[in-house]
């Protein structure tokens, strides 16, 4: 059973547009919800993370929206740029190590 479900699998966005990636989880014990970004040939790197005591966190063009009652969280990338083209993973953690979603391959086209 997947502990976290991520969608979509792939996403194509025009330069300057908004990219939105969603994740849903089941276990209410999770208390750490990060998003990781991975470029080809590299390891995943933390992009932004949220704890369940807030509903939104913004860092530059990247925003996490968190809906505790729906057990969902999403990543919004504003003004998407070609350099944002990468694979994005949501993850969840409580008292166990990070469990990752299957990933979303984002392509930002000019």
Partner 1 sequence: DAGVIQSPRHEVTEMGQEVTLRCKPISGHDYLFWYRQTMMRGLELLIYFNNNVPIDDSGMPEDRFSAKMPNASFSTLKIQPSEPRDSAVYFCASSFGGVNTEAFFGQGTRLTVV
The DSSP secondary structure of 20-84, one letter per residue, reads: EEEEEE--TT--BEEEEEE-TTS--EEEEEE-TT-SEEEETTEEEEEETTTTEEEEEESS--GGG
Q: Which is nearer to partner 1, 34 or 108 (CB)?
A: 34
* Number of residues binding to partner 1, judged by CB under 8 A: 22
Using CB under 8 A, pick the residue from 44, 66, 73, 75 that binds partner 1. 44
Residue 82, φ and ψ in degrees, nearest 5: -55, -30
Ranges within 64-103 binding partner 1 (CB under 8 A) = 89, 93-103
Q: Which of 1, 43, 53, 70 binds partner 1 (CB under 8 A)?
A: 43
Helix (H, G, I), strand (E, B) or coil at 100: strand
Q: How far is the CB of 97 from partner 1 (least distance, A)?
A: 4
Burial, 91: exposed, middle or buried (Cβ in 10 Å; 0-12, 13-18, 19+)?
A: buried
Q: Which of 49, 57, 62, 74 binds partner 1 (CB under 8 A)?
A: 49
Cβ closest to partner 1, residue 30 vs residue 80:
30
Residues found near partner 1 in the complex (CB under 8 A)? 31-32, 34, 41-46, 49, 89, 93-103
């Amino acid at each position: 059973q997947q502990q976290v479900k991520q969608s979509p699998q792939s996403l194509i966005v025009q330069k300057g547009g908004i990219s939105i990636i969603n994740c849903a989880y089941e276990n209410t014990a999770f208390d750490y919800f990060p998003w990781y970004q991975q470029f080809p040939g590299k390891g995943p790197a933390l992009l932004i993370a949220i704890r369940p005591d807030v509903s939104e966190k913004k860092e530059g063009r990247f925003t996490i929206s968190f809906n505790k009652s729906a057990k969902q969280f999403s990543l919004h990338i504003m003004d998407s740029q070609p350099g944002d083209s990468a694979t994005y993973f949501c993850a969840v953690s409580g008292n166990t190590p990070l469990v990752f979603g299957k990933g979303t391959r984002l392509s930002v086209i000019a």
